[in-house]
Amino acid sequence: MSSVLQFKSGTSPLDDLRELKKVEAEIDQVRCDLVRDARNKGATWEQVAQALGMTKQSAWEFFTERFRIELSHRVEKNTDLSEDAAMQLAVEETRIVRRRRTK
């Protein structure tokens, strides 16, 4: 699934840089989605790091912080959820993930 992207639109290098920034953001989101999926399916941080060509610690630090931020944004948007309900939901989600990893 490798490809070479060319940003020669013919308009201007600045337009190409803006387009490149959009593509990088999309790639970053896909990478995070794939890491989340791999972890949910039982991949270790060491396996994820090796696939990305980085250290285990770097992968863990980068992606757990990213996932915390995403979760925080979701929590802020959901004003109908009480603290107790949010905690119960988090506990249930953790159990589901652990069950998936042991299968």
**Quick one: pLDDT at residue 7?**
57
Whether 48 shows a pLDDT value over 90: the answer reads yes
Q: Which candidate, 61, 64, 79, 87, places its Cα nearest to that of 95?
A: 87
Length of the chain: 103
Tell me the C-alpha distance between 99 and 97, whole Å: 5
Rounded percentage of the chain residues whose pLDDT exceeds 70: 87
Whether 4 shows a pLDDT value over 60: the answer reads no
> Residue 31 gets which letter from DSSP?
H
Rounded percentage of the chain residues whose pLDDT exceeds 90: 38
Tell me the C-alpha distance between 93 and 102, whole Å: 15
Tell me the C-alpha distance between 40 and 34, whole Å: 10
**Selected residue with higher pLDDT from 94 and 44:** 44
C-beta neighbour count of 50 within 10 angstroms: 14
Identify the weakest region by mean pLDDT among 4-13, 56-65, 89-98.
4-13
pLDDT digits (tens, 9 = 90+) for 50-83: 999 999 999 999 999 888 888 787 777 777 878 8
In the chain, the amino acid numbered 89 is: L
Tell me the C-alpha distance between 29 and 41, whole Å: 18
In the chain, the amino acid numbered 34 is: L
pTM of the predicted model, to two decimals?
0.65
